[in-house]
Structure 1
Amino acid sequence: MQVMSWIKLIVPTMFLMYFLLPLLTCSPSLTLKVKDYAAPRYNISLDLKPEQRWHHIMQNYNVTQLKRYIDIFFRMIEPNWSKQVLLSLADVYLHFFVEEPYAGEIRGIAKAAKLPTNEAVLLNLFYESMGCTSIIAEDPKGNIYHMRNMDLFYSDLFKEITIDVDFIRNGKVAYTGTTFLGFVGLWTGQRPYQFSISANAREDNNLLLKNIISLIFSGSPVSWLIRNTLNEAPDYESAVLQLSDTPIIAEIYLTVSGVNSGEGASITRDRRRVAHVEHLNASYGAWFLLRNNHDTWLSPPLHDRRWYFATRDLNATGQENINTDTLYKVLSTYPVLNSGTVHTTIMSAASPEGYVSMIRDKEVISQLIMDFRARDRAWHAHFDDVLKDHNSSTSSDVHYIDNDTLILKYKELLKKRLRIHWNRALLDKYLDRDMVPRGLRVQIFPSFPVEDTSFLSLLKEHNTTSLATMETELEELEGNIKKKCSTELVAKMEAEIERDLTKLKKEIRGQKLKKFNMDLSDYANSTGTVEQLDTFMAVLNNNNLNIKLTYKHSSRCIDFLDINIEVDSLSTIQTNVYQKSTSVNALLHASSAHTPATIRTIPTGQFLRTRQICSSDQSFESQSAKLMGRFRDRGYSNCCIRKG
Structure 2
Amino acid sequence: MAILSSLIFLSLSLSSFLQVVRPVDVPVPQYTLNLDLPPQERWAHIVKDYAALYPLLIEELYQIIPKPIVVAITSVTGVLDQFIPQPYADEIRGIAKYTNSTVGETLMGNLAYDFTAFYHGGKAKRGACTSILAVDNNGTLFHGRNLDYTFKDLIRNFTINVEFQSKGQTVFMATTFAGMVGVFTGMRPGGMSISLDQRNTGEIWSNFYDALKTGFHGMVGVVLRETLADANMHYNDAVSKLTSTRLIAPCFLIIGGPKAEGVVITRDRSKAIDVWHLNETWYLVETNYEHWKPPPATDNRRDPAIKALNSIGRNNITADTLFIVLSTPPVLNTATSYTTVMSSGSPSYYQAVIRYPPLPDLDVNDHI
What pairs up with 1:145-156 in 2 under 5 angstroms? Answer: 145-156=142-153
Aligned-partner residue type, residue 120 of structure 1: T
- Distance apart, 1:127 and its partner CA: 3.1
Aligned-partner residue type, residue 225 of structure 1: V
C-alpha spacing 1:265/1:366, structure 2 compared with 1 (3 Å):
closer
Q: Distance in 2 between matches of 1:76 and 1:234?
A: 35
What pairs up with 1:357-368 in 2 under 5 angstroms? Answer: 357-365=352-360
* Matching residue within 299, 309, 329 for 1:314: 309
What pairs up with 1:17-416 in 2 under 5 angstroms? Answer: 30-61=19-50, 63-78=51-66, 80=67, 83-88=70-75, 90-91=76-77, 94-128=80-114, 129=116, 131-203=128-200, 207=204, 209-218=205-214, 220-232=218-230, 233-261=232-260, 263-281=261-279, 284=280, 286-365=281-360
SS in 1 for 2:150: coil
Aligned-partner residue type, residue 95 of structure 2: I
Q: Distance in 1 between matches of 2:257 and 2:292?
A: 24
C-alpha spacing 1:201/1:82, structure 2 compared with 1 (3 Å):
closer
Q: Distance in 2 between matches of 1:226 and 1:124?
A: 13
Q: Distance in 2 between matches of 1:67 and 1:123?
A: 11
C-alpha spacing 1:93/1:280, structure 2 compared with 1 (3 Å):
farther
Q: Distance in 1 between matches of 2:325 and 2:131?
A: 11
- Distance apart, 1:205 and its partner CA: 7.4
C-alpha spacing 1:27/1:109, structure 2 compared with 1 (3 Å):
same
SS in 2 for 1:98: coil
SS in 1 for 2:47: helix
**Residues paired across the two proteins, number:** 334
Q: Distance in 2 between matches of 1:225 and 1:309?
A: 31
Q: Distance in 2 between matches of 1:81 and 1:139?
A: 49
C-alpha spacing 1:202/1:92, structure 2 compared with 1 (3 Å):
farther
Q: Distance in 1 between matches of 2:322 and 2:296?
A: 24
Q: Is the 8 A contact 2:191 2:234 kept in 1?
A: yes
SS in 1 for 2:290: coil
What pairs up with 1:508-587 in 2 under 5 angstroms? Answer: none
Q: Distance in 2 between matches of 1:189 and 1:35?
A: 23
Q: Is the 8 A contact 1:51 1:105 kept in 2?
A: yes
Aligned-partner residue type, residue 118 of structure 1: G
SS in 1 for 2:348: helix
Q: Is the 8 A contact 2:54 2:101 kept in 1?
A: no
RCO comparison, higher one (Cα < 8 Å, 6+): 2
Q: Distance in 1 between matches of 2:247 and 2:78?
A: 19
Aligned-partner residue type, residue 67 of structure 1: P
SS in 2 for 1:42: strand
- Distance apart, 1:55 and its partner CA: 0.3
Alignment deviations for residues 293-318 of structure 1 (CA, whole Å, 9 cap, x no partner)? 00011111221110010011111111
Q: Distance in 2 between matches of 1:27 and 1:320?
A: 17
Q: Is the 8 A contact 2:131 2:287 kept in 1?
A: yes
SS in 2 for 1:30: coil
C-alpha spacing 1:194/1:313, structure 2 compared with 1 (3 Å):
same
Q: Distance in 2 between matches of 1:33 and 1:165?
A: 26
Larger helix fraction of residues? 1
Q: Distance in 1 between matches of 2:88 and 2:82?
A: 12
Q: Distance in 2 between matches of 1:87 and 1:97?
A: 12
SS in 1 for 2:23: coil
Q: Is the 8 A contact 2:34 2:164 kept in 1?
A: yes
Alignment deviations for residues 538-595 of structure 1 (CA, whole Å, 9 cap, x no partner)? xxxxxxxxxxxxxxxxxxxxxxxxxxxxxxxxxxxxxxxxxxxxxxxxxxxxxxxxxx
TM-score by length of 2: 0.86
Aligned-partner residue type, residue 277 of structure 2: H
C-alpha spacing 1:214/1:92, structure 2 compared with 1 (3 Å):
farther
Q: Is the 8 A contact 1:51 1:106 kept in 2?
A: yes
- Distance apart, 1:45 and its partner CA: 0.6
Aligned-partner residue type, residue 64 of structure 1: A
Alignment deviations for residues 385-404 of structure 1 (CA, whole Å, 9 cap, x no partner)? xxxxxxxxxxxxxxxxxxxx
- Distance apart, 1:84 and its partner CA: 2.7
What CA RMSD, in Å, does the superposition of the two structures yield over aligned residues?
2.1
SS in 1 for 2:163: strand
Q: Is the 8 A contact 1:197 1:254 kept in 2?
A: yes
Q: Distance in 2 between matches of 1:290 and 1:361?
A: 23
TM-score by length of 1: 0.50
Q: Is the 8 A contact 2:334 2:356 kept in 1?
A: no
SS in 1 for 2:274: strand
- Distance apart, 1:160 and its partner CA: 0.4
- Distance apart, 1:354 and its partner CA: 1.6
* Structure with bigger gyration radius: 1
